[in-house]
Structure 1
Amino acid sequence: MNRQDTPQMPLDWQMLVSNYKGKTLPAVDRVAGVMLLLAPGEHGPELLFTQRALDLHSHPGEVSFPGGNVEDEDIDLYATALRETQEEVGLTEVPLRLARLDALYARSGILVEPHVAWLDHKPQLIACEDEVAEIFWVPMLDLVQIPPEYQLFERNGRQWQVPFFYYNDWKIWGMTGMILVNFINVVWQQKWPSFHEEWGKNPMDDTE
């Protein structure tokens, strides 16, 4: 499929996202916020990803959105996501806050709240070497061309469908893939399998 055949980014995508009411989940002791930061590119909006540092104890080398655990000074989880983005990739500009997507539980049991924000230009970024190995942008039109591949994973006796996106040499999957599916479904009104059908319970809970 060439780019001319690709579904175009809706002109009102920011309104579609801003009007979306992200689903909430029961609170747990550990909560985190992550940021879907978009900026204009050659072929439309592009989405910021990071590759986690290779020597981290948790998910080393995996592709993720910038974000992390809440701190006492954060007034909400958007503030958490913004602060962590500033720390991880050196963001100095103030993005336009658009919306909160659906909350979900990471496989470690942490409640994660994704937030979407927009910059009207692509900023100069510098990776925090302790946390981030690489920073890269992906055109949204490249991500929506082909439905993700789904693989089954099992935890505590339950199976979970996990999406895998592939872009150049990058593999975007797991919680990051789930959040990406949610965002694409909102913008393009897609019906790709999403985590609320299967990840409505904390994966660390015991089975009933």
Structure 2
Amino acid sequence: MKGPLVDPESVPAWLRPLVEISGKLDSTAFTRFTPPEDELTRAASVLILFGHGERGPDVLLLRRADTLGSHAGQVAFPGGGADPEDDDAVATALREAEEETGVDPSGVRPVAILPELFIPVSKFAVTPVLAHWHAPSPVHAVDPAETAAVARVPLADLADPANRFQVRRPGTTYKGPAFTVNGLFVWGFTAGLLTVLLELGGWAREWDRGDVRDLDVALRDHLLATD
């Protein structure tokens, strides 16, 4: 299932465009990857939680612990693999978000489901769940062994051209969008998804797509600047 979970007119005006368009999208709006027919995938969900803070609309992000075996140190949406006890993708997203960030699910209203997206590296089939944080609660890194930091990042900061560029991996065909914002270095799956959401939500600004940096160098420079 994909598309709105609620009447788009019932969500704040700044979030309405995303809810309205959610049912018209397919995976190609976000990624070029499709699950191989002969390969098993694992179901997962992420919670794309939009709130409204002092500086306008924002989104909840976390930085994974540097000691994790996969995607160590990367910035991500709260989320993870589905458990047998989860009723659906929404339940997975809410459970994972609570476990990772301590967010109170009672203050979160799921409003739309985006198309399932395949991540080749981990072989996850990820369902993004859009939600409105109508009653924000305190958040923090619940388990430092899994989560290093949690932050509400204003969409205006993500859209700021000064915080945007592209990264590439020398020796590979990979090139994709990246952000440095609020002490976070965002790239990969999360940056790609944010890039599309900024466009669809009407928050995007023109930025220099010709600014392409080697991933390792950009990450090193970021770490030096934030030490």
Please tell me the TM-score bracket, short chain as reference.
0.7 to 0.9
- Tell which deviates more after alignment, 79-88 or 98-107: 98-107
> Structure 1 residue 99 and structure 2 residue 99: aligned?
no
AA in 1 matched with 2:177:
P
Flag structure 2 segments of 5+ consecutive residues without an equivalent: 1-11, 28-33, 207-227
CA contact (8 A) 2:64 2:146 kept: yes
- Tell which deviates more after alignment, 15-24 or 60-69: 15-24
Distance 1:23 1:151, change over 3 A: same
CA-CA distance at 1:137 after TM superposition: 1.0
Counterpart in 2 of 1:40? 52
Counterpart in 1 of 2:160? 145
Q: TM-score when scaled to structure 2? A: 0.70
Question: How large is the Cα RMSD of the aligned pairs?
Answer: 2.5
Cα distance in 2 between the residues matched to 1:90 and 1:47? 15
Distance 1:47 1:175, change over 3 A: same
> Structure 1 residue 108 and structure 2 residue 122: aligned?
yes
Distance 1:59 1:118, change over 3 A: same
Distance 1:74 1:191, change over 3 A: farther
Q: Percentage identity across aligned positions?
A: 31
Cα distance in 2 between the residues matched to 1:139 and 1:174? 19
Counterpart in 1 of 2:26? 23
Cα deviation digits, residues 101-152 of structure 1 (max 9, x gap): 3432223222112111111243112322231111111101111122832233
Cα distance in 1 between the residues matched to 2:204 and 2:148? 32
CA-CA distance at 1:180 after TM superposition: 0.7
- Tell which deviates more after alignment, 89-98 or 121-130: 121-130
Which residue among 86, 105, 127 is the counterpart of 2:98?
A: 86
Flag structure 1 segments of 5+ consecutive residues without an equivalent: 1-10, 193-208
Counterpart in 1 of 2:132? 118
CA-CA distance at 1:58 after TM superposition: 1.0
AA in 2 matched with 1:152:
R
Cα deviation digits, residues 87-111 of structure 1 (max 9, x gap): 1111223211121234322232221
CA-CA distance at 1:191 after TM superposition: 9.8
AA in 1 matched with 2:42:
R
Counterpart in 1 of 2:4? none
Instruction: Note the 1:1-208 alignment, pairs <5 A.
Output: 12-19=13-20, 20-21=22-23, 22-24=25-27, 28-94=40-106, 95-106=108-119, 107-129=121-143, 130-146=145-161, 148-153=164-169, 159-188=173-202
Cα distance in 2 between the residues matched to 1:88 and 1:135? 9
Cα distance in 2 between the residues matched to 1:117 and 1:93? 10
SS in 2 for 1:57: coil
| Matched length | 180
AA in 2 matched with 1:175:
F
Cα distance in 2 between the residues matched to 1:145 and 1:88? 28
AA in 1 matched with 2:178:
F
CA contact (8 A) 2:159 2:203 kept: no
CA-CA distance at 1:32 after TM superposition: 0.9
Q: TM-score when scaled to structure 1? A: 0.76
SS in 2 for 1:163: strand
